[in-house]
Amino acid sequence: MSMIVRRLSRAATAGLVAAAALTAAAHSAEAADTLGSAAAGQGRYFGTAVAASHLGESDYAATLDREFSSVTPENEMKWDATEPSRGSFTFTSADRIVDHAQSQGMDVRGHTLVWHSQLPSWVSPLGAQDLRTAMNAHINGLMGHYKGEIHSWDVVNEAFQDGGSGARRSSPFQDKLGDGFIEEAFRTARAADPAAKLCYNDYNTDGVNAKSNAVYDMVKDFKSRGVPIDCVGFQSHFNSNSPVPSDYRHNLQRFADLGVDVQITELDIEGSGSAQAADYTKVVEACLAVSRCTGMTVWGVTDKYSWRSGGTPLLFDGDYNEKPAYGAVLSALGGSGGPGDPGDPGDPGDGASCTATYTRTADWSSGYNGQVTITAGAEPISSWTATVTLPAQQSVSSLWNGTPTWSGNVMTVRPSWNGTLAAGASTSFGFTAAKNGSDAAPTVGTCTAS
Ligand code: G3I
């Protein structure tokens, strides 16, 4: 009885939430200054994996709520989490994520119904008929609970082997039910929630290779026989051993040409700085170039909680600062207001400021030493720029603790090693000037900081 009440109330809420999501997207498309709103401007969603256990962390929730328009529970909808003992479903953690997403007008991707990993121990020993019954009951139990509330379900996850064979992966389902288990799972899923998009999801299928060819052949076969499949998920876990493939866009397109949507479902790219940013740009551009690429999901909000945290593969660092990759994604999505832009709510450099003051520290008949002291304002800074205009006759013979560039008699000085300053902290650079007949003091212009 309580299950029925819960189902009805979830379904009723979903209608209201869908309306709220449309309003939020329409509103934020005008500003286009978050990942979600910029993606909405391109007709796409931009999502993230979420862990229920982090939702209570205010910076985590604030970043999630500000930036993303879709969530995927990272572990909470998996079989071990939802049906730890046969027929006994627990949705507490998954409900927490779905409720949070709905309160923010976000879509939810369901991950995942049938997977060889994170299976509770009772599943593997079952005989073939029993396993078939259990698989269908699991699909019905999960999809029934969230009926009408899930944008796309990863119905079957990672059913193909890595490597060159293109064979199916050994698993209880494959080994006992044969190739037909995938088709059966999709048919059961369609009946359980006809409104949900049904996806096949896998990794190392991002470029054209034996594994993606095998998935391609399966999808083609499903489409030709009317087996219900709507989308293919490309996990897109990249690093130096598995870089963004050069035929990524082509591969997405060939699947789309089969008549399915494609989605980037678990994107992360190990690395940092501009190289990581450039790789993220490639992925976003590939998705935007394929009209049936309906959205992208990164596999976590912050580097510190990533399954590959050592590889810092995400868009926000451990302190929720936007990384260069964030700016690259936002820009590729056509958004504005990334790192460094005034008013960007996630930019820790906003409000960065400095002042520059000049003193003469030594003086002799033909020359002098000058010192310019740079002091950070109320926020820490990572760099500064100061201009010094010298009287026309004077020339500078040496400069220390700074890097000058010249335009006429104006020198623009940037840090050499001393760019980073805590709020209110100071550093200085010095120089030796020849007077050449003028003893006038140089003029120090505006100090700018980032
Ligand atoms: O929650 C427990 C904690 O109580 C316990 O102390 C700790 C000790 O190991 O484990 C914690 O659970 C871990 C869980 O993540 C939550 O952090 C599991 O051990 C760990 O195995 C699990 O890893 C997840 C992994 O799937 C399991 O296969 C990752 O978070 C999750 O990001 C990862 O996601 C997969 C996708 O589902 C499918 N595609 C690949 C992707 C990355 O591996």
Residue 446, CA distances (Å) to 316, 333, 334, 342, 350 in order: 32, 34, 32, 18, 17
Tell me the best of 266, 270, 307 to mutate to test the pocket of ligand 1, counting ligand atoms within 8 Å of each CB and taking the most.
Answer: 307
Distances (CA, A) of 142 to 6, 88, 90: 13, 11, 10
* Residue 161 CA, ligand 1 centroid: distance in Å: 20
Q: What's the Cα-to-Cα distance from 331 to each of 42, 194, 274, 326, 339, rounded to whole Å?
A: 12, 36, 13, 8, 10
Q: Round to whole Å and give the CA distance between 208 and 440.
A: 70
Q: What confidence score (pLDDT) does residue 10 get?
A: 57
Closest residue by Cα to residue 385 from 372, 395, 369: 372
Report the C-alpha gap between 18 and 7 in whole angstroms. 17
Local structure of residue 447 (DSSP, 8 states): E
| Distance, CA of 138 to CA of 161 (rounded, Å) | 24
Is 266 catalytic? The answer is yes
For atom 38 of ligand 1, which residue has the closest CA?
Answer: 157
Query: Taking the CB of residue 288, how many other CB atoms lie within 10 A of it?
Result: 18
Nearest CA owner, ligand 1 atom 13: 75
* Residue having the nearest C-alpha atom to atom 16 of ligand 1: 75
Give the full edge-to-edge strand order of the sheet including 443-449. 403-407, 410-414, 384-389, 443-449
Q: Please tell me the distance between residue 75's alpha carbon and the centre of ligand 1 in angstroms.
A: 7
Pocket test for ligand 1, best of 54, 72, 74, 270 (most atoms within 8 A of CB): 74
Cα dihedral 118, 123, 128, 129 in deg (nearest 10): -120
What whole-number distance in Å separates Cα of residue 395 and Cα of residue 29?
53
Ligand 1, residue 306: give the atom nearest the CA. Answer: 32
- Quick check: 119 and 85 in contact, CB under 8 A? no
Gap from CA of 96 to ligand 1 centroid (Å) = 18
**Per-residue model confidence as pLDDT tens digits over 251-270:** 999 999 999 999 999 999 99
Q: Quick one: tokens of 32?
A: 């286009």
At 89-122, the pLDDT tens digits run 999 999 999 999 999 999 999 999 999 999 999 9
pTM of the entire predicted model: 0.76
- Please name which of 154, 147, 53, 60 lies closest in space to residue 110, comparing C-alpha atoms: 154
Amino acid making up residue 254: R
Segment 15-44, tens digit of pLDDT: 444 433 433 333 333 444 899 999 999 999
Buried b (16+ CB within 10 A) or exposed e, 252-271: bbbbbebebbbbbbbbbbbb
- Spacing, Cα 156 to ligand 1 middle (Å): 18
User: Rounded distance, CA 21 to CA 262, Å?
Assistant: 22
**What is the CB < 6 Å shell around ligand 1?**
74-75, 117-118, 203, 235, 266, 307
Distance, CA of 60 to CA of 284 (rounded, Å): 23
Which residue lies with its CA nearest to atom 34 of ligand 1?
74
Give the Cα separation of 340 and 322 in Å (integer).
10
When pLDDT is cut at 50, 70 and 90, the band that residue 406 belongs to is confident
Higher per-residue pLDDT: 353 or 392 = 392
Biggest CA–CA distance in the chain, Å, is: 101
Residue 354 is predicted with a pLDDT of 83
Ligand 1 centroid, distance to 355 Cα (angstroms):
48
Task: Output the pLDDT for position 33.
Answer: 84
Query: What spacing in Å lies between the alpha carbon of 118 and ligand 1's midpoint?
Result: 8
Catalytic residue of the set 67, 266, 270, 322: 266
Residues in contact with 405: Cβ distance below 8 Å, sequence separation at least 6, in sequence order: 411, 412, 414
Nearest to 22 by CA among 47, 40, 10: 40
Taking the CA of residue 307 as reference, the ligand 1 atom at the shortest distance is: 32
pLDDT digits 0-9 by tens, 159-213: 999 987 889 999 999 999 999 999 999 999 999 999 999 999 999 999 999 999 9
Q: Quick one: pLDDT band at residue 449, thresholds 50, 70, 90?
A: confident
**Structure tokens given for 305:** 């909680």
How many angstroms separate the CA atoms of 450 and 259, rounded? 48
**Separation of alpha carbons 151 and 120, rounded Å:** 26
